[in-house]
Structure 1
Amino acid sequence: MKYFKFILIAFITLIILRINLKLHSENYSKQEVENDIVLQLNFLEDELKSHDLAGRMQQIFPEGNVFINALYGLSWCELALASPGNTKLTNKALNEALFAYNSIDSDKTRLTFPNYLNPENGIFYDGWRNYLLSKILLLKTSFENKEKYLAQYKTQSNLIATALEESKTPYLQSYAGHSWPADMFVAMASLSHYQKVFDETYAPLIKRWLTEVKNNLDTKTGLIPHKVDFQSAHTIEGARGCSIGLILRMLGEIDYGFAEDQFKIADSLFIETTFGLPSMREYPVGEFGLGDIDSGPVIFGVGFSGTIVMIGTLAMYGEANLAEQQYKTIHAFGFDKVRNDQKKYLFGILPMADAFIAWGRATMLNYYQNVKHNKGSWYFSFHLYSLLFCLLIWLLLFRKRLVHFYKTANKVGN
């Protein structure tokens, strides 16, 4: 038992040492970061095309198929948009994003969602499908079958807009009787791109929608709520970390002024440090709650899903330096493995996390000029906490010997 305790504590110490060292990862140049993201996407590509990743994620998450494909396609889009002069990268991104879109826009995927809602299949499905398509259309001025995809974008945008005009509230249903505002923001971000692809047809609708959103904020926090009553827009569940990060990510593309106001509130209620490292609370300051399928595990108040999503969101709001710190923290705890031109986290057990990380990092590249490369001492507090913790567990292991040594020393002294 004594040797088992020694081996266990030595193992824990080595893990803590590894985490501390990984905080000093050196992907400082834009090209290095781009290459590293490609390694992540190579892993996801292999899993999607050869190991039924979409099917596996669907067994774990209610929207796993759509989410993993959408995030994969969007990661490629953001990566290419950050390097517009790289033709080879843009072509690869276009092909992979279209692969992801076609996987979502399939009868097999649609069967997962109810077909009797307005819009058909619900705003989660229609929103993410249209958002990915809008990003694809922004990649290149022309490509094979682009006219077909332009026509689909027009049709899908019109379905979303029509459903919203017929709704009494700003939030459409994701599933029968259930409405999560984050899904609506994805859909509206897809409409906001319409003016870049075609014209400002939906500008008045978006303006009216934003007014309704502002009139139905969570009264406790002043933020956009996590879940609402689809018939009245009244808050069912207030703002949460797992959704507000995504909402801010999309709102920044719809109305940056309103988004900045929301970000300032979220910053004061959700963004903090835990043991000296940047993190995202799952519940606002003063509230306690448990984790669920949306948030993932909640440990010391930190929501893992929200923390990962914030990588890209922080960069959008002028906090690219903090965004990089956030990534380095996730990287340190993610136990990454690079092999055969692929990079995966957590030994590849949960690729959904890999997809969110890749999307956040690719988004951050679009704001890379603001990154200060984190060469300061932001990680010093965590190093200190780690040292104290390691000292404590080793002292506990050898406490009997230390007590014996102390008593012996006293006898000799006397």
Structure 2
Amino acid sequence: MGRGLFSAIRFAVVAVLAAGAVSGLIRLYAPALGTGSAAERQLTFLRAELDHGAGETAQGLFPEGYFFLHALYGIAWVDVGRHRTDRAPALREARWALSRLDGPQGTAPFSAELSPAHGAFYAGWTNWLRGGILSLQPASDREPADVERFERGSREIAAAFDASDTPFLQAYPGQSWPVDSTVAIASLRLHDAVRPALYGQTVARWVDRARGRLDPATGLLPHVTDPATGEPLQGARASSQSVIQRFLADIDPGFAREQYLRFRELFVVRPLGLGPAVREYPQGTDGGGDVDSGPLPLGVSLSATVVTIGAAVVQGDRSLAAALSSYGELAGVPIDTTRTKRYALGLLPIGDAFLVWARTAEPWVAPPPSPPPPVIGPVWRIPLTLVLALLVIPLAVVVRRHRKAERANPRPGGP
């Protein structure tokens, strides 16, 4: 009896492992980008989590957790809505997310004394979402209050940049990250795409000044800058670069392509010769992880790897975007149902939010760019395929031997 029970347990464990390996192979080759039903199922999961306090939980993990979870949810719905005939659900959900950002919990971490109000981070992301909502509607259908609020937000952002001695505004008192100003400037470009153009000079001046304050070690926009001068205090890091590259494409396509190719050269790697991933620090340098990057196994930032999917898409780099996405589909172990889709058992909804935002990416202002030279070819899957196959084959042998033994020694009273 004891041996029989042990054999049955062993068989069950082996069968589950074999099924997992086969499932992994399927996910490795399945397409995972786009704004189709998989994205909507993931957004359905996120809305349920938000309704049950996921934003408040995320706020306990890092200072912008509540804000980011709602902002990414709303922006991803805008991306999905751009490809729907019926845009009403996308508008409803994006507006709901924006209302949460405008509420007291959305503004709580930020200082109203900064210029623009609540700082570059808050102003830039909310203005981008406002413009995205307007972009889903014909001009005749837009609510006057929505238009006025977008105009006011854009004026405040432009005035802050025009009055500043540095291209990188403060997100918190005495603290400046170029990534936040990049999002804010992108929202001005979006304004000039959906409303009468007003801010071309502000944007052009920002690009020129930003070019003059690049990280000397990498030639990329820095991670942290002096709030008074804009001079780099910390060199380029992928947790901010992956976001910068996503928005820079809509600001200045030429500058964006230069920056993206340099970023890809310095940060995209293949740890252990397996799937592509993104380092937090440039190749040849190392540093510690923090709340932005998360843990850094083999120097890789999982958050930056996810966000780089979107940066690659808006640069027309579909081969890299698809490779990063497929690798994530394998490693993320998704649970997919007819209504919802979640990753990592749904334990960290903020991760799902970044992933769906990355996978639904597309330029909102600039025309789709030509693809850059590929950095990764179709053969990247071969090592992972061999690893999974090496798992499947011995597991299949064990299953076969178990069944053969059962046939040779049927249980008493069995058929």
Normalised TM-score (structure 1): 0.84
Matches within 5 A, 1:56-67: 56-67=57-68
What residue is the counterpart of 1:177 in the other structure? Answer: 174
Structure 1 residues 120 and 239: CA distance shift in structure 2, 3 A: same
Could you say what secondary structure the match of 1:23 adopts?
A: helix
Q: Which amino acid aligns with 1:74?
A: I
Q: Within 5 Å, give how 1:82-97 maps onto structure 2.
A: 83=83, 86-88=84-86, 90-97=87-94
**Which residue in 2 is equivalent to 1:136?**
133
Q: Does 1:24 align with 2:63?
A: no
Q: How well do the aligned residues superpose, as a CA RMSD in angstroms?
A: 3.0
Q: Which residue of 1 aligns with 2:157?
A: 160
Correspondence for 2:315: 317
User: Aligned partners of 2:214 and 2:393: how far apart in 1?
Assistant: 47
Q: Which runs of 5+ in 1 are unaligned?
A: 393-414
User: 1:389 and 1:289, CA in 2 relative to 1: closer, same or farther beyond 3 A?
Assistant: farther
Counterpart-to-counterpart distance in 2, 1:252 and 1:145: 26
CA–CA separation in structure 2 for the residues paired with 1:198 and 1:368: 23
Percent identity reads 33
Q: 2:110 aligns with which of 110, 113, 128?
A: 113
Matching residue of 2:409: none
From 190, 199, 202, give the equivalent of 1:202: 199
Structure 2 letter corresponding to 1:38: E
Code of the aligned partner of 1:67: F
Residue 354 of structure 2, aligned match among 349, 353, 356: 356
Question: Are residue 217 (structure 1) and residue 222 (structure 2) matched?
Answer: no
Trace 1:15-414 onto structure 2 (pairs within 5 A).
18-26=23-31, 34-48=36-50, 50-81=51-82, 83=83, 86-88=84-86, 90-142=87-139, 146-274=143-271, 275-339=273-337, 341-363=339-361, 376-385=378-387
Q: Is the contact made by 1:119 and 1:160 (CA closer than 8 Å) also made in structure 2? A: yes
Change (3 A) 1:220 1:314: same
**SS at 1:236 equivalent:** strand
Given that 2:128 and 2:183 are in contact with CA atoms closer than 8 Å, whether structure 1 keeps it comes out as yes
Distance 2:22 2:88 in 1: 41
Alpha-carbon distance in 2 for matches of 1:315, 1:153: 27
C-alpha separation between the residues in 2 aligned to 1:194 and 1:256? 17
Q: Cα deviations across residues 135-160 of structure 1 (Å, max 9, x unaligned)?
A: 11111115876110110011111111
SS at match of 2:168: coil
Change in 2 beyond 3 A, CA 1:368/1:35: farther
SS in 2 for 1:286: coil
Kept in 2, the 8 Å contact 1:79–1:365? The answer is no
AA aligned opposite 2:30: S
1:251-294 deviations in Å (ceiling 9; x for gaps): 00000110000011111101122232111111101001222110
Q: Structure 1 residue 218: deviation in Å?
A: 0.1
Code of the aligned partner of 2:180: D
* In 2: Cα distance, 1:144 partner to 1:178 partner: 40
User: 1: CA distance between counterparts of 2:194 and 2:141?
Assistant: 17
Alpha carbons of structure 1 residues 75 and 224: separation in structure 2 relative to 1, 3 Å = same
Letter in 2 for 1:311: I
Asked whether the equivalents of residues 249 and 314 of structure 2 are also in contact (C-alpha less than 8 Å), the reply is yes
CA shift, 1:359, in A, is 1.1
Question: Is the CA contact (8 Å cut-off) linking 1:312 and 1:363 kept in structure 2?
Answer: yes
SS in 1 for 2:245: helix
- C-alpha distance in structure 1 between counterparts of 2:113 and 2:248, whole Å: 28
Aligned residues of 2:269 and 2:276 also touching (Cα < 8 A): yes
Q: CA deviation at 1:378?
A: 3.0
Alignment check: 8 A CA contact 2:32 2:322 kept: no
Q: 1: CA distance between counterparts of 2:369 and 2:384?
A: 25
In 1: Cα distance, 2:114 partner to 2:293 partner:
26
Q: How far does residue 338 in structure 1 lie from its aligned partner after superposition?
A: 1.9
CA distance in structure 2 between the aligned counterparts of 1:316 and 1:112, rounded to whole angstroms:
30
Task: Report if aligned partners of 1:311, 1:364 keep a CA contact under 8 Å in 2.
Answer: no
Tell me if structure 1 keeps the 8 A contact 2:32–2:329: no
